[in-house]
Amino acid sequence: MILCVCPNLCYDRVIVVPGFTVGAVHRAEQAIPLASGKGLNVARAAAALGVPLVVTGFVSGDAAAAVVQGAREAGLSLDAVRVRGPSRVCTLLIDPGRSETVVNERGASVDETAVRALRRRVARHLPDSSVLVLTGSVPPGLPAAFFASIVRQAGTRPVILDTPGEAFRLGVAAHPTVAKLNRRELEDTLNRTLSSVGEVAGAAREVMAAGAQAVVVTLGADGAVLVLSEDAWFVEAPRVERVNTIGAGDSLSAGIAAGLHQGRSLLEALRLGVAAAASDVTTLLPGAVDAARAEALAPGIRVEQLV
């Protein structure tokens, strides 16, 4: 199975507002509650792809029960640590086919007792895990080096690291199998603009030099770049009708993890991930993937080796 460690789980309110503009009064077309956070988005996509996955992380406040119940009703395996404090509620304003607006609340701080409990959850599931996905932001109180310690604990198991900021830097130094980030995060990390696929690949090699065994940089609707020790590849995303792009990167992570779990090469796993992300953006909810469509798209995805 896949183990997904996502400390900052949350409760989403997905609000569909056609013609949304800032500073206006709107009437929502739909309001959908969703057990979420990047880990549960990954779990939904992995479940659609037919791969067993367990998520662990923190849930807090009044929304904790709703997150746990929502995951259960969706058939997702969630082994959560409950902590006291405000709920982490995230509001997603969706104007289908246009740019999305997201408001992420901070949520609760965690103490040493909660951190130890999360470590026990990881230790409980690790022996049965073939692949690890470490994803999402770090909540207040969780050491920035937490993900790095899990990378080391994983041993020879493939690890996909997808977290921002200092946690990413420290995690990369622990030598994960795949360091995943988007173009903007890569630009912020290196403090420069990356205008071409070649520049992205060159910048990804700098992340590899810091410790990652491979780097995946997502490019939104264009696809993704994969850099390995000797080679670099551009994986072009198929053209699909966009509804909502939130969660597409999590579906891409799920596809990579599913591919590695199935014994595919990293390049072929990324091809599946890009196909899963393409399927996701045609749907309203994060992590919603049509497995048949993703598997049908994957073989036709263009792959180009970069010089």
Cα 119 to Cα 110, 147, 236: the distances in Å are 13, 11, 38
Give the pairing of strands 101-104 and 89-94.
Answer: antiparallel
The CATH number of whichever domain residue 292 belongs to comes to 3.40.1190.20
Give the pLDDT confidence score for residue 97 in this predicted structure.
Answer: 86
Give the pLDDT confidence score for residue 15 in this predicted structure.
Answer: 96
What would the mean pLDDT of 205-218 be, rounded to a whole number? 96
- Whether 295 has a pLDDT exceeding 90, the answer reads no
- Please give the tally of structural domains in the chain: 1
Average pLDDT, the chain: 95
Give the pLDDT confidence score for residue 299 in this predicted structure.
Answer: 87
What would the mean pLDDT of 101-116 be, rounded to a whole number? 95
Q: Label each residue of the chain as H, E or C.
A: CEEEEEEECEEEEEEECCCCCCCCCCCCCEEEEEEECHHHHHHHHHHHCCCCEEEEEEEEHHHHHHHHHHHHHCCCEEEEEEECCCCCEEEEEECCCCCCEEEECCCCCCCHHHHHHHHHHHHHHHHHCCEEEEECCCCCCCCCCHHHHHHHHCCCCCEEEECCHHHHHHHHHCCCCEEEEEHHHHHHHHCCCCCCHHHHHHHHHHHHHCCCCCEEEECHHHEEEEECCCCEEEEECCCCCCCCCCCHHHHHHHHHHHHHHCCCCHHHHHHHHHHHHHHHCCCCCCCCCCHHHHHHHHHHCCEEEEC
Confidence at 205, pLDDT banded by 50, 70, 90: very high
- Whether 13 has a pLDDT exceeding 80, the answer reads yes
Give the pLDDT confidence score for residue 99 in this predicted structure.
Answer: 85
- Whether 307 has a pLDDT exceeding 80, the answer reads no
Question: Strands across the sheet with 232-236, in order?
Answer: 77-83, 53-60, 2-8, 131-135, 159-162, 178-182, 215-218, 223-227, 232-236, 303-306
What would the mean pLDDT of 225-253 be, rounded to a whole number? 95
Residue type, 270: L
Confidence at 286, pLDDT banded by 50, 70, 90: very high
- HSE, CB side, 13 Å, CA atoms: give it for residue 205: 12
Give the pLDDT confidence score for residue 152 in this predicted structure.
Answer: 98
Going 286 to 37 to 76 to 235, the CA torsion angle's sign is positive
List the domain range (segments joined by +) for residue 288. Answer: 2-306
The per-residue pLDDT for range 243-283, each reduced to its tens digit, is 999 999 999 999 999 999 999 999 999 999 999 999 999 99
Cα 27 to Cα 13, 17, 18, 95: the distances in Å are 15, 7, 9, 12
Give the pLDDT confidence score for residue 6 in this predicted structure.
Answer: 98
What would the mean pLDDT of 163-169 be, rounded to a whole number? 96
Confidence at 219, pLDDT banded by 50, 70, 90: very high
How large a percentage of the chain has pLDDT more than 70?
100
Confidence at 2, pLDDT banded by 50, 70, 90: very high
